[in-house]
Structures are given as C-alpha cells and as structure tokens.
Homo-oligomer: A and B are copies of this chain.
Amino acid sequence: MSLDRLLDDFAAGQISREELKRELLRQSFIETGCAKIDQLREVRTGGPEVVYCAGKTPDQVASIFDHLNRHNGRVLGTKADQAHFEAVREVAEARFDPVSGLLSIGGAPENPVGKVAVVSAGTSDLSVAEEAAGTAEFLGSRVDRHFDCGVAGIHRLFSVMDELNGASVVVAVAGMEGALPSVVGGLARPPIVAVPTSVGYGANFQGLAALLTMMNSCAPGIGVVNIDNGFGAGYLAHKINMLAFGELDG
C-alpha cells in the first residue's frame, strides 16, 4: 500500500492511529540484500533518501533505484557515472547529467518555487556547482546560475550582486583559495551555503585550503558543506528556500 493511500485512509478514519504507526514501521525500510532503503526519510525529515552512487556497483544502484521508484515514483542519485545510468535505465526511464553526475527518475517538479542562487568561482568548479543547482531543482526550488565569478575579477561578481540579493539563499562554490563566500558574505543579505571544491593543486591539498578559508570567513552568515559536496549544498539550500514559503512548517 502506498504511503499516500495509507495517510488518506488514516485521515478518513478507516485505519486507527495504531494501525498507521504499525504500517509505517513495517514500511520504514526495505531489505534489498545489499541495502536497507530508508523509505520514510521524507516523512521524517522533509527530504527523500538520495542515493550516493560512487562506490556502489551499477547493479546495486539499479536495484535501489527500482525499489525507491516503486515506492516514491521519483529518485535522485549523486556522483553517478555512465555505467550507473545504463543499469538504471534498464529498470526505469531515467535522466543522467554527466557534468554534475546526477542521475534521476522523475525529474524536477514543473512549478519550482522561491529562488536559490548558485554562484561559482571558475569554470573548473562547474560540475560541483551544477550538482548543487540540479539537486535543488530536483527537490522543487527555482534556481539561478551565476558561474565563473571568482574574486580575481571581482567586477564579474558585482555584476550579479543584485540577483544574489534577490534570492532566498545563495550557494557559493569555489576551489583554489575559496575566497568567494567571504566576499559574497560581506555584500549579500541572504544566508550563504559555501562549497569548497578540490580544484587546484599543490598546497591546495585537494580542497583543504578552500575548506579552511570558508570555515574562517570573517563575514558571518555562512554555513559550509564538505569538499565537492554539491548535493549537500543544494539540499540544504532547498530546505532554507522552502522556509520562505512556509513549506517546512506545514
């Protein structure tokens, strides 16, 4: 029985509170052999279980997508590659964006709401910035992209400043020294989600330099996610964006 059906029945008084709880518990995860799929995360936390594809075999990914698809009708996977895509399209119609590594069933909602602005420093940060943008879109946010606005040519950033200030939340993506969120943070009103990327070399230490920079920003109002974690940034930005629409309080 689908979750919606279950909730309708409860609302209609056809099943008791106890029956609902028992069924919810029974449905709360599915054993697929290799995974316990967390089906009620959306009920619990307001966001669906998203599949981290890296390090899983194409067969494992396809099996998990299949289960989640049957239950929710929409699935999102991150850090996927072409082989994961091939395996998933065997079980359902799916889309794959090789730039961001996002693999999905169901796509983004037709009427996105609010505004998440994604701003990135350089061309090389593109894949992480797209992962953030695509994630927020899949979850239902409207997203504006402003790429290649690094602080070495700060007028590029100024040219988009008004648009950043018109968003509910800004995702700022940068590698190398990662100074972009600090500068945005000194100029913008919305809360900022900062994403360090592993772009760079030498004393960059695979993104550690940018991570530390963002952690130590002298401008307040910045929360940082893991290096290259575009998904996490998009997910958090979506949650914040939804606040402006009362969606989390419903």
User: Measuring CB to CB, which residues of chain A are less than 8 angstroms from any residue of chain B?
Assistant: 25, 28-29, 34-36, 38, 40-41, 44-47, 49-50, 52, 54-56, 60, 64, 79, 121-124, 126, 147-156, 159, 168-169, 176-179, 182-183, 185-191, 193-194, 196, 198-229, 231-232, 235-236, 239-241, 243-244, 246, 248-249
Contacts and interface: CB of A to CB of B under 8 A. Distances in A.
Q: Quick one: copies of this chain in the complex?
A: 8
B203 A208 contact: yes
Contacts of A222: 223, 225, 232, 236
A63 to B, nearest CB: 10
A200 to B, nearest CB: 5
Contact of A202 (B151, B182, B190, B215): B215
Give 7 closest A-B pairs by Cβ, nearest first.
A223-B223, A202-B227, A179-B179, A209-B212, A38-B153, A152-B186, A152-B219
B223 A193 contact: yes
B236 A152 contact: no
B229 A202 contact: yes
Contact of A216 (B29, B186, B200): B200
Contacts of A177: 178-179, 182, 212-218
Nearest to A24: B155
Contacts of A35: 123, 147-148
A126 B57 CA distance: 12
Contacts of A244: 243-244, 246, 248-249
